[in-house]
Structure 1
């Protein structure tokens, strides 16, 4: 028996489990009560848990996390099947067709390698999605969506010549934010959003994923903050008990420790 057949049996097993969980009479009450909208946020959460396992090279946990993400696909497909819209086979067929279509040089003997973005643009037009910014999901994390918006604009020539130009834009947006400080809250939020957007554009111009860069800084802050807590705990103290000058001095000391860069 081939590995492929074993894998096919497992996906069939998973589909059958999902069908039983959604059975109106004998299924799980929680699963039966769900809708595509109530389940959707879990897909995002599971995707981030996959990303976290990959970033930590946690190969032991990765199959489990990928399974959780796959289950979200199966769950959505089951509900769609119940509504007479599509089923899991349609999902698998759609992505398989797309991959073959986007790789003509692999799946169509004699065909030349196509331009990925041109192929995707043709697909968007086929869905009546027009404009340079069409098809960018509004539910993406804001920094990632900002970078994608800027990248699309770049393709049609709406972009700075170099990273220095974007950096000047960041400084300009910071000056506008500073001018609004202490004023109207909505204006401050608007200007702060412009700062973040321009920073995402700078990251894109330097070929850096802004989400990855921020995750890296989050991890660094966490390491340093927890090191401060540990240092104080050795003396029976807590961060909340310290004044700001003490914490600033401790922060600087922690930054110099090995592994805190």
Structure 2
């Protein structure tokens, strides 16, 4: 057993015991005999939002550097893994054992420079070899996995839409799908904004949705041209909005719904000014 799995107050056996207890608790929550009504009605699909939410909360905790928060959020994410496996095992699809075995075998298979005889010289060579092995596993040739559409489909399938949009625009630009200058991007933005406004005048929700997507994609491209991260920008705006709203709530002792729009606007401007004075 690697020494890294041992600490002054924790042993490998203790880790296994804790994991086993978690598995038992989840199984009890899903038990038709005395289980939790909420857990019992969950499906793999209904749990998708929680998987995404917990992953983001892990990232937020890591960024904060708060070790207690990181521990808690990793636990919440681990719960989602165990719960998905528990639900699958109830239908005899797969079990947590197969999940663990699968990732272990994959790690060994994709690290022949650690578990085999292959020698590598740097991280870039590791990455290239990883992609080669990954292609073989999926029955693809290295050439097929290097096709632009193969990469873009992977981004669209596995990343949050805003991050996927940035990756897709970057990769497309790298092979020539690019404007000559930023003026062309601004022109495209004006076109898409006009088309979106036009679509809103119709009753066709599908068309409206499509035009909104086109407009957002152009905004992502504008961010790329100016060296900005659209995902981080939106996250900062979300947090800034919440901070201002929290300050507004601190100004009053009644629900915000009791106030008129003009009153809310006045308090909002006050909150912005207060935060500005505080350098936030």
The TM-score normalised by the length of structure 2 is 0.70
Deviation at 1:243, TM superposition (A): 9.0
Q: Check 1:81–1:205 CA distance in 2 against 1; reply closer, same or farther (3 A cut).
A: farther
**Superimposed CA distance per residue, residues 193-240 of structure 1 (whole angstroms, 9 cap, x where no aligned partner):** 22321333455577765322321232234334555666x66xxx9783
Partner residue in 1 for 2:219:
199
SS in 2 for 1:37: coil
Q: Look up the match of 1:184.
A: 199
Aligned equivalents of 1:119, 1:203: Cα separation in 2: 34
Q: 1:136: how far off?
A: 3.6
Q: How far did 1:170 drift?
A: 3.4
Number of aligned residues: 252
User: 2:162 maps to what in 1?
Assistant: 143
Q: Is the 8 A contact 2:189 2:219 kept in 1?
A: no
Rounded to whole Å, the distance in 2 between the matches of 1:210 and 1:219 is 14
Aligned pairs for 1:17-56 (under 5 A) are 17-56=25-64
The aligned runs of 1:1-261 (5 Å cut-off) are 2=6, 3-112=11-120, 113-114=125-126, 115=128, 116-125=130-139, 131-132=149-150, 133-136=152-155, 138=157, 140-153=159-172, 157-160=175-178, 165=181, 167-180=182-195, 182-185=197-200, 189-203=209-223, 209-224=229-244, 226-227=246-247, 240-242=261-263, 253-254=273-274, 256-260=276-280
**In the alignment, is the contact (CA less than 8 A) between 1:228 and 1:254 conserved in 2?**
no
CA contact (8 A) 1:77 1:87 kept: yes
Answer with 88-97 or 117-126: which moved more: 117-126
Instruction: Report the more deviating stretch, 6-15 or 52-61.
Output: 52-61
- What is the aligned-residue RMSD (CA, Å)? 3.8
CA distance in structure 1 between the partners assigned to 2:224 and 2:131 by the alignment: 17
Distance across 1 between alignment mates of 2:226 and 2:263 = 40
Q: Is the 8 A contact 2:196 2:208 kept in 1?
A: yes
For residues 34 and 252 of structure 1, what CA distance do their matches in structure 2 show? 42
TM-score normalized with structure 1 length? 0.74
Structure scoring higher RCO (CA < 8 A, sep ≥ 6) equals 1
